[in-house]
Chains A and B, each alone.
Chain A
Amino acid sequence: MTPLLSVDGITKRYGSHIGCADVSFDLYPGEVMGIVGESGSGKSTLLNCMAGHLAPDAGQVVFDTRADGPRDTVTMSEPERRMLSRTDWAFVHQHARDGLRMGVSAGGNVGERLMAVGERNYGDIRDKAVDWLGRVEIAADRVDDRPTTFSGGMQQRLQIARNLVTGPRLVFMDEPTGGLDVSVQARLLDLVRGLVRDMGLSAIIVTHDLAVVRLLADRLMVMKSGHVVETGLTDQVLDDPQHAYSQLLVSSVLQV
């Protein structure tokens, strides 16, 4: 089976400071990979390099495109990469307002992604938008409201709807539950888990919340100071961590 995403030797420096160094892994269709580590460990830098938001200094990010098979997205042209991020890729930001257009209605936020891939029939677009708002548990009567009138949890769900409406195959998530209260987090986890299963999505989730990765991720990568110090099955890394830093990370979680 061809990996959906094959990352090889990704390195990003900020001057003399290392963002992330020599990261390699394969992600297969339907897999969810978690990336954990403390603040400043390079998780977000790595995610942004993979998603084309940052240009890595070295390395390849090979994505199995629908049309042409495996292609290195680092060296592909800007328009090609933009097309990918509108169709097969999705990016869920930690702060929903970074991933939404705050001045446009909820329906417009979802519909805009559809129009970007060529849908033109207003009725169809609106129907799809309402359908997706329902899937993320936003009432249909809020379709014309702006996200500024939504709560933080609703904004995050709207961002997910906007991202998934075009049926992407790979979703990048940067702390998707960060800053939400726990009941809203649980709701979001349930939603993401269902979407991953029903749509056969692959996902890469950056978080510092070990409970989130235990429930969502098949595999885990632990980062420290820009380096990957341990990888493996999620439950194996959490229950029997091998590296000193992973052991510290796991043993530092407060028990409820």
Chain B
Amino acid sequence: MIELRNVSKTFTLHNQGSAVIEVINDVSLSVAAGECIALTGASGAGKSTLMRMIYGNYMTQGGEIRINGTDIVAAEPRAVIGLRRDTLGYVSQFLRVVPRVPTLEVVAEPLRAVGVSAGDAEARAKELLAQLNIPERLWSLSPTTFSGGEQQRVNIARGFAHTYPAMLLDEPTASLDAKNREVVLTLIEEAKARGAAIIGIFHDEAARDRVCDRQIDVGQYTKGMAA
């Protein structure tokens, strides 16, 4: 489902003496449907960078990244947008939303984008928000004023609303209490059971051992590069 071949990445800082920083060198990996793999490595090893490359958020200088057959490195922006809408989900560490939009709409939006009716999308959003213990009185408010943990849970609800066949999870259990951590791990297990291919970054080792089938040390591809 997710296939990386000889992927590498450099940052060129044109306004800082054109410094060239090599961050990822020759990564190859593949994730099958129903499988969850963890990216590990010290802080600065390039875990998030690699994940952002897979999402098409960062440019990839060499190699190919195939999601369900489409090479995101070479694809037109329009194809990447389509892939993100239908196939590839991403739960980032931060929630980014248009101010003023109610939480319920924020969570339902990915479903509306794939053509689910307003009623069905809202029903699913309510179910997820309840599951993640967001109090019902907050659903009609914009999440911009919520606490960090609440925003993180809204972000997770949004990320799991549509059943993407491929998912990227950047620290999904960070800043969550035990009860909500359990809910998130269950969501991940359910996604695996329905056949989603998942790549995750977990600093929470117990969570990692529970949901991940394999671990890949990103540090081995960046040896000597990380500060």
Q: CB-nearest residue of chain A relative to B112?
A: A197
> Assuming the A-B contacts A244-B15, A248-B15, are A218 and B77 also in contact, with contact meaning beta carbons closer than 8 angstroms in the complex?
yes
Q: How far is the CB of A4 from chain B (nearest CB, A)?
A: 12
> Which single member of B15, B59, B98 contacts A193 (CB below 8 Å)?
B98
> Assuming the A-B contacts A233-B56, A233-B77, A236-B58, are A190 and B98 also in contact, with contact meaning beta carbons closer than 8 angstroms in the complex?
yes
For the complex, give the distance between the alpha carbons of A235 and B80 in Å. 12
Task: Assess the A239–B52 pair: CB atoms within 8 A.
Answer: yes
Q: Is the interface of B mostly helix, strand, loop or mixed?
A: loop
> Assuming the A-B contacts A235-B57, A236-B59, A240-B58, are A215 and B98 also in contact, with contact meaning beta carbons closer than 8 angstroms in the complex?
yes
Please, which residues of chain A bring their CB within 8 A of the CB of B130? none
Please, which residues of chain B bring their CB within 8 A of the CB of A240? 11, 52, 57-59
Chain A residues engaging chain B, CB cutoff 8 angstroms: 28, 31, 186-187, 189-190, 193, 197, 214-215, 218-219, 231-233, 235-236, 239-240, 242-244, 247-248, 251
Task: Assess the B81–A218 pair: CB atoms within 8 A.
Answer: yes
Chain B residues engaging chain A, CB cutoff 8 angstroms: 11-15, 52, 56-59, 77-78, 80-81, 96, 98-101, 112
Task: Assess the A190–B57 pair: CB atoms within 8 A.
Answer: no
Q: How far is the CB of B43 from chain A (nearest CB, A)?
A: 19
Please, which residues of chain B bring their CB within 8 A of the CB of A186? 98-100
22 contacts between A and B (CB under 8 A): A31-B78, A186-B99, A189-B99, A190-B99, A190-B100, A193-B98, A215-B98, A219-B77, A219-B78, A231-B77, A233-B80, A233-B81, A235-B57, A236-B59, A239-B57, A239-B58, A240-B52, A240-B57, A240-B59, A242-B12, A242-B59, A247-B15
> Which single member of A187, A231, A244 contacts B14 (CB below 8 Å)?
A244
For the complex, give the distance between the alpha carbons of A81 and B52 in Å. 43
For the complex, give the distance between the alpha carbons of A248 and B78 in Å. 26
Please, which residues of chain A bring their CB within 8 A of the CB of B52? 239-240
Q: How far is the CB of A223 from chain B (nearest CB, A)?
A: 17
For the complex, give the distance between the alpha carbons of A215 and B95 in Å. 12
Q: How far is the CB of A195 from chain B (nearest CB, A)?
A: 13
For the complex, give the distance between the alpha carbons of A235 and B92 in Å. 13
Please, which residues of chain B bring their CB within 8 A of the CB of A193? 98, 101
> Assuming the A-B contacts A189-B98, A215-B98, A239-B57, are A232 and B77 also in contact, with contact meaning beta carbons closer than 8 angstroms in the complex?
yes
Q: CB-nearest residue of chain A relative to B84?
A: A233
For the complex, give the distance between the alpha carbons of A31 and B79 in Å. 12
Q: How far is the CB of B73 from chain A (nearest CB, A)?
A: 11
Q: CB-nearest residue of chain A relative to B53?
A: A240
For the complex, give the distance between the alpha carbons of A243 and B13 in Å. 9
Please, which residues of chain A bring their CB within 8 A of the CB of B59? 232, 236, 240, 242
For the complex, give the distance between the alpha carbons of A73 and B56 in Å. 34
Q: How far is the CB of A197 from chain B (nearest CB, A)?
A: 7
Q: CB-nearest residue of chain B relative to A189?
A: B98
For the complex, give the distance between the alpha carbons of A32 and B151 in Å. 27
Please, which residues of chain A bring their CB within 8 A of the CB of B100? 186-187, 190
For the complex, give the distance between the alpha carbons of A240 and B58 in Å. 5
For the complex, give the distance between the alpha carbons of A190 and B99 in Å. 7
Q: Known pairs A186-B99, A214-B96, A233-B80. 11 more at Cβ < 8 A?
A: A190-B100, A215-B96, A215-B98, A218-B77, A232-B77, A239-B58, A240-B52, A240-B58, A243-B14, A244-B15, A248-B14
Q: CB-nearest residue of chain B relative to A186?
A: B99
